[in-house]
Amino acid sequence: MSLSTKRLGAAALAASLLLSGATFAQQKPATPPAAPAAPAAPAQAPQGPLRVELQPSQGEWTKVCGRDQAAGKDICYTTRDFGQAADQPPVLALAVYDVKGDDQRIVRLLLPVALMLRPGFRFSVDKGATQEGSFEICFPNGCFAESKVKGPTIDQMKKGTSLNVMVKNQASNEVNFVLPLAGFAKAFDGAPIDPKVLEEQQKQLEQELQKRAEEQRKAIEAQPGAAPAK
């Protein structure tokens, strides 16, 4: 059970920020190319941390539960997407996995491309202690990263205001994504979403992403000198 790879395209929208330290690109196509999003950024002197305040891009936290037949265990994960603004596509997704009977939990992130994979990422709740995590696998338009944590970390997230996720871009400049945690405790401790409702939400998300991609394609084709898309 994992975060849906349908969110990978949205994660790529932050690639230009991670490469250059500038603002998010506003006119990137919703569906990125199959090749790496951008060439390596030229070497430059390290700068101070770049703070990026993110907002939820979906109404509420969603708790999904199911049975891992291979492991014979019940698994739940509580997840939410975040973007630069509520009405913009997400650039990052967070999910916290809880395996019944296990003391260990997993904090999993879907991050944009164009990051330095080593030494990984760091995160903290508000101004609490910093913990480390590592990248697990990357696709052309997004990377999964995770950290194994214990119950006290989840308790901090339930009581906390924000989760700070710290990564480095290809210029070795630190980018600090700030994710609001409001509502996380209620969802994590609450009942899971009805599978039928979840399926309908996923269909709506896919339709919305396709609609935005079509709108952006038409906008690009309408520009002077632009070749029609094949």
| DSSP letter for each residue of the chain | ----GGGHHHHGGGHHHHHHSSPPPSS--SS--SS-SSPPPPP----PPEEEE-EESSSS-EEEEEEETTTTEEEEEEEEEEESSTTS--SEEEEEEEETT-S-EEEEEEE-SSB--SS-EEEEETTS--EEEEEEEEETTEEEEEEEE-HHHHHHHHH-SEEEEEEEBTTS-EEEEEEE-TTHHHHHHSPPPPHHHHHHHHHHHHHHHHHHHHHHHHHHHTSTTPPPP-
Average pLDDT, the chain: 78
Per the model's pLDDT, the better-predicted residue between 38 and 95 turns out to be 95
In this prediction, residue 228 carries a pLDDT of 60
Rounded Cα gap, residues 78 and 84, in angstroms? 21
Between the CA of residue 170 and those of 30, 48, 151, 174, 206, what are the distances in Å?
22, 14, 33, 10, 30
Residues β-bridged to residue 92: 82
Query: Radius of gyration over alpha carbons of the chain, in Å?
Result: 18
Domain spans of the chain, in order of start: 5-221
Q: Name the band, by pLDDT with cuts 50, 70 and 90, for residue 227.
A: low
In single-letter form, the type of residue at position 226 comes to: A
What pTM, to 2 d.p., does this model score?
A: 0.69
Q: Name the band, by pLDDT with cuts 50, 70 and 90, for residue 181.
A: very high
Output the CATH code of domain 5-221.
2.60.40.1880
Q: Which of the given ranges, 8-17, 35-44, 188-197, has the highest pLDDT on average?
A: 188-197
